[in-house]
Structure 1
Amino acid sequence: MITRDPGAFLALARGCGPDFGPATARAAFLVAPEGFRRAEQSALDNAYMAEAPAFEPERALAQHRALHAALAASCPVLCFPGDPDTPDAVFPNNAFASAPGRLLVGRMRHPVRQRETAREDIRRFFGEVLGARTIDLSGQPHPCELTGSLVIDRARGLGYCGLSERCDEDGARLMHEAFGLRTTLVFDLAPGEYHANVVMSVLAGRCVLLCEDGFASPTAAAAIADLYAPHAIRLSAAERQGFVANCLALDAGTVWMSARAGRALDPLNRAALGRAGFVVREVPLDAIEAAGGSLRCCVGEIF
């Protein structure tokens, strides 16, 4: 079921046990920030992006290498080369995503990002090395920027899809079907927000971080929080702006976020993550965050 009705979603989601699939990925992939610079098309609807003088390509590369090394503590991580013609490719989870036996290719809103989805090396890796079949959504007209727009509880097969210029209702439906989810709650993001994964994150199927001011209606946020209580952690606007919600669990006991997010994380919320069974690990990513995304955006998960 895919629905805009939080009550209908909750009624079904409460009966979904953690038997849909692995709660965390078996591996992950990155794309190096070669030719790192401000993508003016993306800046049209990404309020988190800095102005061009703030972009430091060499620092971005160095921080990305450190991210690669750090994440390897949670799971195997590989890195594909970047391309100066695709300056936003450092955020591959918007263009490529996976489910067991499947590679999903998204439909990006901006032409500068549509070039990313055409690259053959990532497609061939999933198809020829992992034996995955490809579900290619890139040629249809409805924007659906995969796990940027759609936050997934992989353990229970639940989706949370935030609508914006980057994903419309038809795109949400296409992703729901391609991932084979049990139920997906569709909601409008607040004006100025571009991706759901900047305002919320589901961690290993048992905890949610969310910032209510990133939702157009508080009803959807409240329903999601109810489902994960007592491990529903509400974030402040300052924490959202610091990319706290753009975090990721790649194993059952670790939450990865940027150093900026770690500084923004309220100590009470850090303690709440501890009660949910998570240790917070932080990686400096301020050079990459100039492009309007943070750690979770940098990581493509392999299921």
Structure 2
Amino acid sequence: MSKSSLQAPASVVMIRPHHFTPNAQTARDNHFQSQPAGTDSETIAQAAHDEVTQAAKVLRAAGVNVHLFEDTGTETPDSVFPNNWFSTHAGGHVAVYPMYSPNRRAERRQDVLDMLKQHYRVQDIIDYSGLEQDGLFLEGTGAMVIDHLERVAYAARSRRTSEILMERFCTHFNYEPIVFDAVDAGGQPIYHTNVLMCIGTDFALIGLDTIPDETRRQDVADRLRRGERDVINLTHDQIAAFAGNAIELHGKDGPILALSSRALLALDADQRARLEKHVTLLPLDIPTIEMAGGSVRCMIAGLHLSARPAAQDTKTGVIQ
């Protein structure tokens, strides 16, 4: 794999929901969630369905290979966020994760894993999900933001991130763990690390002010800069607008940064100019999805796997 593709996958998995709604179970510690006012559930669900449909269309037009799966069940309100239950890693490795909220555990799908094995070189799947019974949780690349180039996994402490399990993951997958506390503007712990930081090939977006300990804040910034990245600091307001919940992908014309329209508007001119030295900014309009407390990064499970020869020309998802 090239340096760019190691951090910026060219293929992704997305889930199109049919019964989307903000999840009452996750609202306890996800302070980024919001409740719709005066809108019926069917309208919300249809809007979310349409936003994912359009987002997949925009990504495909940019040259990203999108495997789009349908979720027709009514018991998985957060199914649109598949990056929490599985992740993929160079060398053919896949991890499956234990989820904190009981109704999120049904999001794990064998058909997605079967597709990975069919179209990509999968050497092994390490399934941590049984550790839910022991009260150990690690919600994938929501709980961790992974630097595939420097082999570092960053994680903000929360009830969704077991340090014990993160250490085990890092041992299995050969990453250096860096754990820190992070809080929002109101002093509440931030539930997922990928809300406050995004690591690209040549840049990093991070809300350094969310890390209250000055020494640890500097440690994190220094470790990011060790890879010669342009580290762009985000304010609390920008974090609240999901400016940190973005993902670098590899498109037909080079690297792109997929982020929400709201996130792009939150960035100032200098931040946009710095990013545009490294990537093409690709905004996706997903205001309904963002009511669930996640944004573009949460919607996209990047595939850091080598395609099987027969699958190299696949340009569309398994399910259309």
Question: What TM-score do the two structures reach when normalised by structure 2?
Answer: 0.83
Contact 1:21 1:154 (C-alpha < 8 Å) held by counterparts: no
Partner of 1:249: 248
* Shift in CA distance, 139/262, structure 1 to aligned 2, threshold 3 Å: same
Partner of 1:39: 23
Return the offset for 1:52: 4.7
Contact 1:94 1:106 (C-alpha < 8 Å) held by counterparts: yes
Which of residues 134, 141, 150 in structure 1 aligns to 2:144? 150
Partner of 1:212: 208
Which of residues 110, 119, 127 in structure 1 aligns to 2:117? 127
Q: SS where residue 248 of structure 2 aligns?
A: strand
Amino acid at match of 1:203: G
* Shift in CA distance, 28/20, structure 1 to aligned 2, threshold 3 Å: closer
Return the offset for 1:243: 0.3
Deviations 1:64-89 (A, max 9, x none): 11110111214211111113211101
Q: SS where residue 249 of structure 1 aligns?
A: strand
Pairs within 5 Å for 1:221-260: 221-226=217-222, 227-228=224-225, 231-251=230-250, 253-260=255-262
Pairs within 5 Å for 1:18-57: 22-53=6-37, 56-57=44-45
Partner of 1:188: 181
Deviations 1:194-248 (A, max 9, x none): 00000011012x2111112322424333223233266110011111011000011
Q: SS where residue 61 of structure 1 aligns?
A: helix
Which blocks of at least 5 consecutive residues in structure 1 are unaligned? Answer: 1-17
Partner of 2:316: none
Q: Distance in 2 between matches of 1:162 and 1:70?
A: 31
* Shift in CA distance, 116/298, structure 1 to aligned 2, threshold 3 Å: same
Q: Distance in 1 between matches of 2:270 and 2:155?
A: 27
2:200 matched to 1:203? yes
* Shift in CA distance, 105/215, structure 1 to aligned 2, threshold 3 Å: same
Partner of 2:312: none
Deviations 1:152-173 (A, max 9, x none): 1112212112210110211211
Q: Distance in 1 between matches of 2:267 and 2:140?
A: 26
Q: SS where residue 242 of structure 2 aligns?
A: coil
Which of residues 157, 161, 166 in structure 2 aligns to 1:172? 166
Which blocks of at least 5 consecutive residues in structure 2 are unaligned? Answer: 305-320
Q: Distance in 2 between matches of 1:215 and 1:225?
A: 11
Partner of 1:104: 95
Q: Distance in 1 between matches of 2:236 and 2:9?
A: 29
Pairs within 5 Å for 1:59-70: 59-70=47-58
Contact 1:146 1:175 (C-alpha < 8 Å) held by counterparts: no
Decide which moves more: 119-128 or 88-97.
119-128
Decide which moves more: 129-138 or 194-203.
129-138
Contact 2:204 2:229 (C-alpha < 8 Å) held by counterparts: no
2:273 matched to 1:280? no
Q: How many residues align?
A: 282
Q: Distance in 1 between matches of 2:117 and 2:76?
A: 22
Q: Distance in 2 between matches of 1:65 and 1:52?
A: 21
Amino acid at match of 2:206: L
Contact 1:161 1:187 (C-alpha < 8 Å) held by counterparts: yes
Query: Could you say what the CA RMSD is over the residues aligned between the two structures, in angstroms?
Result: 2.0
* Shift in CA distance, 253/25, structure 1 to aligned 2, threshold 3 Å: closer
Partner of 2:130: 139
Q: Distance in 1 between matches of 2:63 and 2:3?
A: 22
Return the offset for 1:139: 0.5
Q: Distance in 2 between matches of 1:19 and 1:254?
A: 14
Return the offset for 1:19: 6.9
Contact 1:210 1:234 (C-alpha < 8 Å) held by counterparts: yes
Amino acid at match of 1:184: P
Q: SS where residue 139 of structure 1 aligns?
A: helix
Question: What TM-score do the two structures reach when normalised by structure 1?
Answer: 0.87
Amino acid at match of 1:148: G
Amino acid at match of 2:126: I
Q: SS where residue 167 of structure 2 aligns?
A: helix
Partner of 2:309: none
Contact 1:26 1:302 (C-alpha < 8 Å) held by counterparts: yes
Deviations 1:112-136 (A, max 9, x none): 111112x221122223443422110
Return the offset for 1:177: 2.6
Decide which moves more: 245-254 or 282-291.
245-254
Partner of 1:13: none
Q: SS where residue 35 of structure 1 aligns?
A: coil
Q: Distance in 2 between matches of 1:216 and 1:65?
A: 39
